[in-house]
Chain A
């Protein structure tokens, strides 16, 4: 598990220019709202677990939603 760090949480990197900036902005909004970030997950798998299968967008969405509402409060009063 150790030594996986190094990117300091920046996602959607590698793209430059307006398009890249737009994607990064979308990714930021998603993560503030607590939404799944598919491309970030794929990038994570490619970089650290190249042996594992890459889920489809839909599989990832299902799994994320399940784990997010699995247990414990996510919202306050």
Chain B
């Protein structure tokens, strides 16, 4: 007992020392070991003490109470599953491109702000959100976030939440597609590999459905092997003067290709493309993340990025805006992600064997995702700062040539030479890495560094393209599943207007709804590709704001659940992160709309384009498009803000009514049934 306490005390001290080293470090480089130690130490303490407090005091998890998986077991979706298997399953469902890309972009402020937000954000915010929603859904037979919002706070809130989710989905798909476009443009190796994933997935689909029904693992092994062959084949294609031109495409061509792909994938039967692709990317995701963790622990690379850069003043090239609030907006997934509330209230609650398992899966699963974000941050921070900015600043800022880019970066105070940039580009098998915004390419360079220093050097190019393929693969999976989900939501909403439109099996309705969803995200994608600043500049903050506003909605629902269950004295566990997210997102949203700096504010950017037209610097048709997009982005941000504020207000009204005893505190949980499981 005493020994155990001493162990926790030692861990707390080690974590505190690591944080101290991270914060006070002066000098050229710092080992990634300090970052990993600070993060893991904090996670372990938070899991041991805070999540236990949440489980026992706030939620009152009760292992005597039968879970939906036990009561409704059907061997298909309601299946009692052992907790570590479910942990893996849940983690694979919540982790995506978000936690990988956000920290890389936020590295423009230095490594410290991102690390602090990722680690403390998850412990007090993101993991609490996932846990409370998983708990709520588990007590309600696996109901979705929207249904819980509707039942606990009223039908208007439910519909508002649905509209918000749909709008967020459109922005999410556009921004992730843009990340892929920027990683693949003018890269025959990358394009060849990604194109190959489509016939590979179709082959797997036929394998599992027609040739060897149900043999999913067999088909997946074949798929993974073919995928690795395609990766190696890509090198040959890129090196061949005859083949390379066929696989070299501009950003715009790739964008239209992805739009067509998204539409087809949403309309085709799922077994043919969507489902096999989902399995393929799940295996690649888990495998690569494990590999990355092992690689970082073996290599423990020195981080070359400073703790803080000069760009905390808001003048950074990767995205506009000051440290507060934009560091918090840029890193959404990894610290707190509203999207998880949709997953935590879907499949996972139907598979919990015991109530207490929700702690490991809800809270622990999110800690794991946060660690992925920490690894991504390490991968970005190990690059020379000059290299990092050469890859992540837009081409329009860097100028067209290596020499001009080096000059611009020197002016920012970072040294880098044209030879260094050219050498790196050829080492990874690309013509140029300049201005490849979106985070994926610099993450891939960082990952290639880690892999080749951990597992033997000489394969930089292969590792780089492996990392690009891995990111593009599961972003495309998000795009096809996301388009499909968006389609269902649109059909459900449209069904309120005219009933036949709500029938998901009616083909015209399916085609129409798929077309509308694809057109929605496709529009933002194309505008992002055409944007002179690279698109990520305006779209990523919009995504971060919308995702965290969704988190605010989830935390509102969580607070309502806690207050209604008669434990209002503990409601601070969700109210605290709710206040935090609202402060950050409302400030950021307001600045994005109204800031006077045209780099930051949508409306002032529109005004500056107008004055440029008057001066004759921009032609009118292009200006009209830019101005329209600025206003559209401003309106969209305003809608996000208004919807969220309405949800918060209607929830707050409910809380006040209950706390002043004008309304009884009664939850809509499924009735208690004693478990049949022993112990």
Contacts and interface: CB of A to CB of B under 8 A. Distances in A.
A1 B675 CA distance: 12
Given A2-B676, A5-B677, A74 B73 contact: no
A50 to B, nearest CB: 13
B481 A10 contact: no
Given A69-B274, A74-B346, A75-B93, A57 B144 contact: no
Contacts of B69: 9
A19 interface: no
B81 interface: yes
A61 B176 contact: no
Interface string A26-44: 1011111111101011001
Interface stretch (B193-201, B278-286, B579-587, B598-606): B278-286
Given A33-B283, A75-B477, A76-B98, A69 B214 contact: no
A4 to B, nearest CB: 5
Q: Of A7, A26, A67, A74, which is in contact with the most chain B CB atoms at under 10 Å from its CB?
A: A74
Given A6-B676, A75-B482, 10 more contacts: A1-B71, A5-B80, A7-B80, A62-B209, A62-B271, A65-B270, A69-B270, A69-B481, A73-B339, A76-B96
Interface size on B, as a range, is 35 or more
Interface residues of A, number: 46
B361 interface: no
Interface stretch (B84-92, B517-525, B631-639): B84-92
B216 to A, nearest CB: 4
Interface in B165-183: 172, 176
Nearest to A60: B214
A76 B278 CA distance: 12
Contacts of A1: 71-73
A17 interface: no
Given A34-B89, A41-B75, A72 B144 contact: yes
B73 A32 contact: no
Nearest to A77: B98
Contacts of B271: 61-62, 65
Given A32-B286, A77-B333, A58 B481 contact: no
Contacts of B95: 76
A29 B98 CA distance: 24
Closest CB pairs A-B (n = 5): A44-B75, A58-B213, A9-B80, A32-B88, A57-B214
B343 A75 contact: yes
B484 interface: yes
Best-surrounded residue of A33, A38, A76 (most CB of chain B within 10 A): A76
